Amino acid sequence: MQLNYIANASLPSVSGKTIPVIDPSDGQVFDEIQRSNAHDIDTAVRSARECLELVWSRFNAAERGRLLMRLSAKVAEHAEELALLEQRDCGKPTKQARADAAALARYFEFYAGACDKLHGDTIPYLDGYSVMTWREPHGVTGHVIPWNYPMQIFGRSVGGALAAGNVCVVKPAEDACLSLIRVAQLAAEVGFPAGAINIVTGYGHEVGDALARHKGIDHISFTGSPAVGTLIQQAAAERHCPVTLELGGKSPQIVFADADLDAAIPAIINAIVQNAGQTCSAGSRLLVEQAIYEPLLQRLGHAFENLRVGPAAMDLDVGPLIRQSQQQRVWDFLSDAQVANIAMVAQGQIVDEAPDTGFYQAPTLLRDVPATHRLAQEEVFGPVLCAMSFKDENHAVELANATQFGLVAGIWTRDGARQFRMARRVKSGQVFINNYGAGGGVELPFGGVKSSGYGREKGFEALYGFTTLKTVAVRHG
């Protein structure tokens, strides 16, 4: 049984209740986590506050950096153990689970190096005055983490917050807690003081809600659905608590006729099948210039047919979806596609070894999806790619911007001037030209516009969000 991790100690919830942990590869229960409540959140927030005031605020930036670097090394040392936990808990194929553990180590490494480079400005002002700005931590930060990339999102969110001098209370998704409990234990082993990193597990509507409402939380970082993002903002608004929101997307891959298709095709496929499509930055809409629409769909169709789906430990192209309700959600979208006569170009194969009790979905390529259909508008969060054609650049921009989201856009063209025109005109937080998120992008500021949220995590930019600016004006005559 898994316990909460509060003030460097493993604690049961005061509720006395637990939640079963399910392996998405076979649908079977293999562990349990605490079903925590508002009392547990309160304990964690108090521990965090005490740590902040008595211990953590005395660590200078270089010391915080050294500690984060030790944690990075510790995570790297335990990468295989963490990857196996994530694989079982979230159904990630081995290579993806390993990549996530490596990314977690890299986030800590990046933010370790960033701690002592974060500084304010001096500002020219009236004669006889000196004015400066200080970057100060918010204090106790709350982190609501989704189930799709628990280690990566913990790395970017908690790594950045700690680097900036905050302490953290973390609520992982109930479907994905195991790796994060272990990382918090590893942090204690390398010397993070009791209360700097606290993990409280449970249901979002119970413990997540309690976290969002707790008066002792000074900043909230949330990654998840737009609907819950609204609830978080509403709760935070009651006490004017700042929030950073990353709410997913319906990101377009825009392919012009002059594109290098040999480079584009593997990136387009990876962007929709990685983590079984359960990726906020999934390239879920394929916008193709008319002249190459048919040949590109043909090539992609062959590639989709060869994709294999199966248990995480088999390390195939695609693993299971996280849970039965997510599988049902994808089925609902696909049955809507049938009702609307949206044609399927191709589907991958679920291997015979995949148990019927697992949550599998074959990658699916749909064509001529009307831009207004919910398949082209809403986040499916499954391996479903929706293709449509465009006639010219203006039409491509119009389609690209025609959803409520604006997280990432991929642009494939050899025309340099067009690359820049398109990058300017698409409404999104990130634009990739002739690549799509290669290299993990730990260093690259990430976040959305419109209903994809606001605020930036990843990269150095995140540190501004995890601090507040104090302006100090001194009159010295």
317 binding Mg ion? (CB under 5 A) = no
Instruction: Kindly tell me which of 89 and 246 has the beta carbon lying closer to ligand NAP.
Output: 246
Does 89 interact with Mg ion (rule: CB under 5 A)?
yes
Least CB distance from residue 87 to Mg ion, whole Å?
10
Distance CA 466, CA 460 (A): 11
End-to-end CA distance of the chain: 65
203 binds, among Mg ion, ligand NAP, none (CB under 5 to 8 A by kind): ligand NAP
- CA–CA distances in Å: residue 269 to residues 153, 263, 265, 477: 23, 11, 6, 65
Residues 222, 145 contacting (CB under 8 angstroms): no
Positions annotated as catalytic residues are 246, 280
Binding site residues, ligand NAP, CB under 6 A: 144-148, 171, 173-175, 203-205, 208-209, 212, 223-225, 228, 231-232, 246-248, 280, 329, 379, 381
Nearer to ligand NAP, 303 or 318 (CB): 318
18: three-class secondary structure by DSSP: strand
Least Cβ distance, residue 75 to ligand NAP (angstroms): 21
Question: Which listed option, Mg ion, ligand NAP, none, makes contact with residue 208 (CB within 5 to 8 Å by class)?
Answer: ligand NAP
Residue range at the interface with Mg ion (CB under 5 A); choices 33-41, 84-92, 268-276, 461-469: 84-92
Residue nearest ligand NAP, Cβ-based: 204
**Based on CB atoms, which residue is closest to ligand NAP, 225 or 324?**
225
Q: Residue count at the site for Mg ion (CB under 5 A)?
A: 3
Phi, psi of 131, rounded to the nearest 5 degrees: -125, 135
Shortest Cβ distance from residue 177 to ligand NAP (Å)? 8
What is the C-alpha to C-alpha distance for residues 256 and 293, in angstroms, rounded to an integer?
9
∠ CA 448-266-386 to the nearest 5 degrees? 55
**Residue 289 interface partner, choices ligand NAP, Mg ion, none, CB cut-off 5-8 Å depending on type:** none
Q: What residues numbered 211-230 form the site for Mg ion, per CB under 5 A?
A: none
The two beta strands, 4-6 and 9-11, are antiparallel
Q: Where are the beta strands (DSSP E) in 36-193?
A: 122-123, 129-137, 140-144, 167-171
Of the ranges 103-111, 131-139, 170-178, 331-339, which one interacts with Mg ion (CB under 5 A)? 170-178
Distance CA 200, CA 24 (A): 22
The interface partner of residue 89, options being ligand NAP, Mg ion, none and the CB cut-off 5 to 8 Å by kind, is: Mg ion
Interacting partner of 280 out of ligand NAP, Mg ion, none (Cβ under 5 to 8 A depending on kind): ligand NAP
The nearer residue to ligand NAP, 72 or 148, going by C-beta atoms, is: 148
CA distance linking residue 97 with residue 95, whole number of Å: 6
Q: Which parts of 21-60 interact with Mg ion (CB under 5 A)?
A: 22
Cβ of residue 276: shortest distance to Mg ion, in angstroms?
A: 14
Tokens 């935070």, located at residue: 236
Exposure letters 310-326 (e unless 16+ CB within 10 A, then b): bbbbebbbbbbbbbeeb
Using alpha carbons only, what angle is made at residue 455 by residues 451 and 459, rounded to the nearest 5 degrees? 125
Nearest-CB residue for Mg ion: 89
Q: How many CA atoms are closer than 13 Å to the CA of 269, on its beta-carbon side?
A: 23
> Which of Mg ion, ligand NAP, none lies near 163, with the C-beta cut-off 5 to 8 A by kind?
none
Q: CB of 464: closest distance to ligand NAP in angstroms? A: 21
With contacts defined by CB under 5 A, name the span among 171-179, 206-214, 263-271, 403-411 that binds Mg ion: 171-179
DSSP per residue over 406-469, as a string? Answer: -SEEEEE-S-HHHHHHHHHHS-SSEEEESSSSTT--TTS-B--SGGGEES-BSTTHHHHHTEEE
* Partner in contact with 300, chosen from ligand NAP, Mg ion, none, beta carbon below 5 to 8 Å by kind: none
What is the four-CA torsion angle of 407, 413, 418, 421, rounded to 10 degrees? Answer: 0
What, of ligand NAP, Mg ion, none, does residue 156 touch, CB below 5 to 8 Å by kind? none
Distance, CA of 424 to CA of 434 (rounded, Å): 15
CB of 329 to ligand NAP, least distance (A): 6
Answer with the entry of ligand NAP, Mg ion, none that 174 interacts with (C-beta below 5 to 8 A by kind): ligand NAP
**Identity of the amino acid at 69:** M
Per CB under 5 A, which region of 54-62, 159-167, 169-177, 328-336 contacts Mg ion? Answer: 169-177
What totals of helices (H) and strands (E) does the chain contain, helices first? 15, 22
CB of 43 to ligand NAP, least distance (A): 18
User: Residue 56 or residue 107: which is nearer to ligand NAP going by CB?
Assistant: 107
Both structure tokens of 319? 């693993």
Decide if residue 175 touches Mg ion (CB under 5 A): yes
Report the nearest approach of ligand NAP to the CB of residue 212 (Å). 5
**Nearest distance, CB of residue 331 and Mg ion, angstroms:** 20
Of 172-180, 188-196, 229-237, 300-308, the window that binds Mg ion (rule: CB under 5 A) is 172-180
Other Cβ atoms less than 10 A from the Cβ of 132: the count is 15
The burial class, CB within 10 Å (0-12 / 13-18 / 19+), for 16 is exposed
- Residues in contact with Mg ion by the rule CB under 5 A: 22, 89, 175
